[in-house]
A and B are shown apart, each in its own frame.
Chain A
Amino acid sequence: MAFFTSPDIPMMTKLLEVVYIIIGIICIYTAGRNLFDRENPSPWGTSLFWGSVGIVIAFGRWLPNIVNGSLILLMSASAILRLVKPGQNLTPTAEQTKARFEKIGMKIFVPALSIGVFSLIFALLGGNALVGTGFGVLVAMILLFAYSRDNRPKVFFDDAARFLSIVGPTSMLPPLLAVLGTVFTVAGVGDVIADIVGRIIPQGNVTAGIIVYALGMMLFTMIMGNAFAAITVMTVGIGAPFVLNYVKDPAAMVMLALTCGYCGTLLTPMAANFNIVPVAILDMKDKMGVIKNQILPAAVMIVFQIIYMILIK
């Protein structure tokens, strides 16, 4: 409590912590729902997953690192042992959504866009973008309640729990990959790669560095099927030693390298969610039918981005 009453801590930091507490509560709510969900084949494992991550998100700031770390490993274990399952499916029927559309109509776009608008406004005014996201979500909830009194807090929480259960453990990949990146940095993995690559491309030739970094991101993403995993590895190994040290805006280079990775995502059957699952959902004959339609745009975009990166180096 001292944290929230202390005058020394900036308002935005306190509000951000409130945002994390709400996120944690959503996870813990998801854990509770699944625990009492008779249709969930694995209520305990699912609750363990969402419960432990919820505690770390909500209260991690005040818990010792060893406790946070153990909870994250517990969360990982329940996912690895395949104990995390979606429960009861409460998706609204087409009749329900159609009836609501007839009542609300195009006004539904206002809450939909409010989240992004407030994130942007807060960021532009020098506040925290994530607090802006939270504010936008609040505004969206109030608008939705104004449109229809059926949209009560319980509906929002149930729908959030439903979506979280659908995305499942995969949704925790970005923070876990960031953790892995920290471990790589602590262990000095980047220096070793830099040493190897340094024998092929000389340090200081930024243009060559950019091309290798961008194409490497695309290629690694194609092999791994995941640009988020690739960016962690490529930035520690190639980005930092060959590009970041020599450019005006290192952050821009890493961000653009990520979208170079997305060109790789467009080209690989490894990114099954995007390229192979749609083939099945749409009953297509050619298993590579989606990828074939993406080859030209991906090629255009990788060239565009490499030129862009070289121009702003």
Chain B
Amino acid sequence: MEYIKLLGILIVVLGFALRLDSILIIVSAAFVTALVSGVDIVTLVETFGESFVSNRSMTIFILVMLVTGTMERNGLKEASSALIGRVKGATAGIVIASYGIIRGIFGAFNVGIGGVAGFIRPVLIPMATATVESKGYKVNDNHLEQIKGMSAGIENISWFFCQVLFVGGSGALLVQGTLANLGYDSELIKLAAIEIPVALAGVATGIVYYYLRDRRLCRKYYIKEK
């Protein structure tokens, strides 16, 4: 009857898959696991307190928020778009690739520059479509759709694989906490260093793929019309 201990895991998997409230899933999984494993309620509440306190490091992002919002207020987004605007002879693919590199660097320094709602829609997409219009073409509908998809894609790829380079990022802190539960020590700086090849490969894959894809789309939709 050892298998009944897996009930908690089943709750986590089903709960997230059914899009239930995340905190509800976690708390119920903890209670059910404790119940079926004979851990009493006081011990469980104490474990909650002790474990949360020893994992307080994962709330460091709150400290960073002291400046995140104020940097946005002081023109960080405008400065980033000015930086991308300096790239000469741009195509939509080059604009997206430049953003991928900048997003990756900022990701490694744990700085956000607005994401899809704050940067890609208001700044990046207009910059990308302007590269087509400046050559005298009207932007093809399917090309526009793909520019949007690739922009959101590079946002995700650069952010996912570069945020792990930040020493003290939430991913590494969760890994450190998970390892500590199992009795392994780990250092945040080593966790970041091990990801360097992954970050470089991730950004390189993203920007090369989107650059080539955009070039193919441009040939398909515009050069033919001449």
Q: Are A293 and B45 in contact (CB under 8 A)?
A: no
Q: Are B30 and A250 in contact (CB under 8 A)?
A: no
Q: Are A255 and B175 in contact (CB under 8 A)?
A: yes
Query: In chain B, residues 49-107, which have Cβ atoms closer than 8 Å to a Cβ of chain A?
Result: 49-53, 55-79, 82-83, 106
Interface residues on A, range: 35 or more
Whole-angstrom distance between the alpha carbons of A204 and B106 in the complex?
Answer: 40
Residues in A with CB closer than 8 Å to B148 are 278, 282-284, 289
Q: Are B64 and A265 in contact (CB under 8 A)?
A: no
* Minimal Cβ-Cβ distance residue in B for A62: B53
Chain B interface, >50% SS class: helix
* Minimal Cβ-Cβ distance residue in A for B197: A308
Q: Are B168 and A129 in contact (CB under 8 A)?
A: yes
Q: Are A132 and B167 in contact (CB under 8 A)?
A: yes
Whole-angstrom distance between the alpha carbons of A160 and B167 in the complex?
Answer: 21
Residues in A with CB closer than 8 Å to B198 are 256, 259, 301, 304-305, 308
Contact stretch, chosen from A37-45, A107-115, A205-213: A107-115
Q: Are B9 and A175 in contact (CB under 8 A)?
A: no
Q: Does A144 contact B (CB under 8 A)?
A: yes
Residues in A with CB closer than 8 Å to B47 are 65, 69, 179, 182-183, 186
Q: Does B127 contact A (CB under 8 A)?
A: no
Selected contact of B153 from candidates A63, A189, A283, A294, CB within 8 Å: A294
**Could you tell me which B residues sit within 8 Å of A by CB distance?**
2-3, 5-6, 8-9, 12-13, 16-17, 19, 21-24, 26-27, 29-30, 33-34, 36-37, 39, 42, 44-53, 55-79, 82-83, 106, 108-111, 116-117, 120-121, 125, 145-146, 148-153, 155-157, 160-161, 164, 166-168, 170-179, 181-182, 184-192, 194-195, 197-198, 201-202, 205-206, 209-210, 213
Q: A66-B45, A187-B8, A275-B152 are in contact. List 20 more A-B contacts (CB 8 A).
A: A60-B49, A108-B79, A119-B110, A124-B189, A133-B60, A137-B64, A160-B66, A179-B55, A225-B17, A233-B13, A244-B182, A244-B184, A250-B184, A251-B184, A256-B195, A278-B148, A289-B148, A296-B209, A297-B209, A308-B197
